[in-house]
Amino acid sequence: MSLVTKAPPAAGSAPAGARGGHQKGDRRRRALGKNPIGLLLSAPYLIFVLAVFAWPLVFAVWMSFHEYFFAAPGAQVDRPFVGFDNFREVLGDPDVIRSFGNVGIFLIINVPLTVVLSLVLASALNKAVRFRTFLRVGYFVPYITASVAVVGVWLFLFSGAGLVNQILGPLAPEPSWLINSQWAMPTIALFVTWKQLGFFILLYLAALQNVSQELYEAAATDGAGKVQSFFSVTIPGVRPATVLVLLLSTVTGANLFTEPYLLTGGGGPNGASTSPVLLMYQRGIEQGSPDVAAAIGVLLVIGVLIIAFIQRQVAGGDES
Amino acid sequence: MSPRKSTSKIEGGQLDRGQHILRGIVLFLGALVFLFPFYYMIIGSLQKSPDPTVAGAFPNPANLTLDNYTAINSRVDLVQGLINSGIFTGGVIIGTVVFGVLVGYALAQLQWRGRGVTFALALLVQVVPFQLLMIPLYVLIARDYGLADNYLGMILPFAINSTAVIIFRQYFLQVPRELFDAARIDGAGELVLLWKIALPLVRPALLTVILLTFIGPWNEFLWPFLITKEASMQPLAVSLANYISTVAASAANPFGAVLAGACVLAGPAVLLFILFQKHFVATNIGSGVKG
């Protein structure tokens, strides 16, 4: 940082006219920073973030408090403020309550499984010497492949007469996995865990590089075994990554759409695997009530924020 | 004390080797389990009639055919789907590389008002669930701007990948600032600096960013599904999903046709990943998300 203050004034950053008046340049520097061109270079990105994230976010909240419906572009229509009516409608809807419950089931299975498997696999991969390329490809390929593509295989594997049931024989659930109201959601949770694990392994692999080797040596001289040092050195060492993995896997769960839409034919059987985002699509776009869909979305964000806050409290934040 | 310690060390050594081999076997078997659905996808796409028995998991020359690929191609225009996916993905990659380099450079090497806020936004945006914005984005892009069934409408919400912005920033941070200061004294403008000095230095980051950005739009389903109703505009992921959810039941060998389509959709991404997997480095992605 000291380098920055000592650096000579950038010739390219200030227009030629400003070079004469030293005081004028100073004032400009205070207002816009030393290299105001930085703002210019970032402008397209800032406009993008405002247009695609910030404004739609505000719009979604606005929509959830108004009676909003699709109208022809340019048509002047009255969209009255309705207070909490949309929220009341959503909370009184058993389908919506059920979809939130389904996501709860999903998260209870998916999040712990993801954290444990990705941490264990990452620390094993970190030490592996042979077949590194094969192992990397093996664990990461599901993550880089389209859900739509691998859904096809899972439909085949988990169908009534599919390979999984053939292997299980009499142990196979009846009716089969994806059309069984008990098993539909857990199967989806398993699918998503398998699909996303590679990404979380990558996060942990990066975090493991920051765990000091000396701590392992110190643990070893204290007589700690492999398992002990995993618990006393590795787990505390990657805590910031764990907070991130918890957060991102929760967000992934809240975003669930493609899997129930395709794997269980639109949230079946009888809504046992409907997700809130699937309902947002059905209510908002298929049935033309974007205001109700926006209300579901706002509730979902609040839910994610609450869960993220609890996770942060439990898992601990950054070192601070 | 010390003799006991040395014996435990020897034991530890033997234990080490045993654990080492065990770890290797577990990792190897785990990877096979992870890869099996892909193997099964290829086998299934080549079967004349779907064989879900255990024996069906092994290739049987009597039951092999390429008919499923022609079957899916007659229902879903695979080439048009691939072209649409390619335009969608290409647009996102161009937007991300061009504008991402500019922001990444500004964030790493320039001092300006709003830099901290911009960086915080780039981090924040990555945890905003896109699905929650889908209703307002649909209203804005499809209804208000009339960009339904349009490549621009497809690309817009993904136009600049924020993870890529942060990776570019990370790379530009590694370029010594003195290099730029020296060039500035020589009177070079910021854009010249960016083009002549910064860009050649971050060339390795380009491939990582392109690979990382590729998988987003190529695999994206929900947004193009919302915004394209015309079959000729749909990316392959959307047309294949429509086939799975509606028409699959009426085909002679639905699984075979679905799996053939799945192979075509998965192929380019998997191939790119295997070819360039060294560039898909843990530290890059990690720094991308952690900042």
Task: For residue range B97-145, list pLDDT tens digits in order.
Answer: 999 988 988 888 888 888 888 888 888 887 777 777 888 999 888 888 8
Contacts of A304 in chain B (CB under 8 A): 129
- Structural domain contains residue A229: yes
- Structural domain contains residue B88: yes
Between chains, do B286 and A45 touch, taking CB under 8 Å as contact? no
Contacts of A74 in chain B (CB under 8 A): none
Give the domain-ending residue among B18, B34, B65.
Answer: B65
- Are B184 and B151 found together in one domain? yes
Of A167, A194, A206, the CB nearest to B282: A206
- Are A41 and A108 found together in one domain? no
- Are B54 and B109 found together in one domain? no
Phi and psi at A234, nearest 5°, equal -65, -50
- Are B8 and B50 found together in one domain? yes
Helices (H), chain B: 2-45, 67-75, 78-109, 115-125, 134-137, 151-155, 162-174, 177-185, 190-193, 199-201, 203-219, 222-227, 236-242, 254-275, 282-290
Largest CA-CA distance found in chain B, in angstroms, rounded: 81
Instruction: Report the amino acid identity of residue A254.
Output: A
Please name the residue of chain B whose CA is at the shortest distance from the CA of residue A30.
B113
- Are B113 and B177 found together in one domain? yes
Between chains, do A280 and B135 touch, taking CB under 8 Å as contact? yes
**Distance from the B135 Cα atom to the nearest Cα atom in chain A, whole angstroms:** 6
**Distance from the B199 Cα atom to the nearest Cα atom in chain A, whole angstroms:** 14
CA distance A288 to A242: 40
Count of domains for chain A: 2
The range of the structural domain enclosing residue B30 comes to 2-65
CB contact at 8 A, A71 and A217: no
- Are B191 and B225 found together in one domain? yes
Between chains, do B110 and A35 touch, taking CB under 8 Å as contact? yes
CB contact at 8 A, A45 and B165: yes
- Structural domain contains residue A191: yes
pLDDT reported for residue A36: 79
φ/ψ bin of A66: left (φ > 0), alpha (ψ from -120 to 50), beta (otherwise): beta
**Distance from the B187 Cα atom to the nearest Cα atom in chain A, whole angstroms:** 6
CA distance A137 to A149: 17
Phi and psi at B267, nearest 5°, equal -45, -60
Of A145, A205, A257, the CB nearest to B282: A205
pLDDT reported for residue B250: 54
Contacts of A301 in chain B (CB under 8 A): 129, 132
pLDDT reported for residue A20: 44
- Structural domain contains residue B270: yes
Give the domain-ending residue among B65, B84, B102.
Answer: B65
Query: Rounded to an integer, what is the distance from CA B51 to the centroid of its chain?
Result: 32
pLDDT of B7 above 70: no
pLDDT digit of tens for each residue in chain A (320 aa)? 333 333 344 434 444 444 444 555 566 666 667 777 888 888 899 999 998 888 998 888 888 888 887 776 666 777 778 878 888 888 888 888 989 999 999 999 999 999 999 998 888 888 877 777 788 888 888 988 988 889 888 888 887 777 887 777 777 777 777 777 888 889 899 999 999 998 888 888 888 887 878 888 888 888 777 778 888 888 888 888 888 888 888 888 888 888 888 888 777 777 788 888 998 998 888 888 888 888 998 898 888 888 888 888 887 655 43
The range of the structural domain enclosing residue A266 comes to 86-315
CA distance A46 to A65: 27
- Are A59 and A90 found together in one domain? no
Give the domain-ending residue among A64, A98, A122.
Answer: A64
- Structural domain contains residue A79: no
Between chains, do B244 and A153 touch, taking CB under 8 Å as contact? no
- Are A50 and A90 found together in one domain? no
CA distance A121 to A174: 33
Count of domains for chain B: 2
CATH for A204: 1.10.3720.10
CB contact at 8 A, A165 and A83: no
CA dihedral B84, B88, B93, B95 (to 10 degrees): 140
Give the domain-ending residue among B11, B31, B65.
Answer: B65
- Are B174 and B274 found together in one domain? yes
Q: What is the DSSP letter of B138?
A: I
- Are B12 and B151 found together in one domain? no
Q: What percent of chain B has pLDDT over 90?
A: 12
Six-digit token pair at B32? 């096979």
Between chains, do A45 and B137 touch, taking CB under 8 Å as contact? no
pTM here is 0.82
Of B89, B113, B111, the residue nearest B216 (C-alpha):
B89
Contacts of A280 in chain B (CB under 8 A): 131, 134-135
Between chains, do B262 and A149 touch, taking CB under 8 Å as contact? yes
**Distance from the B284 Cα atom to the nearest Cα atom in chain A, whole angstroms:** 8
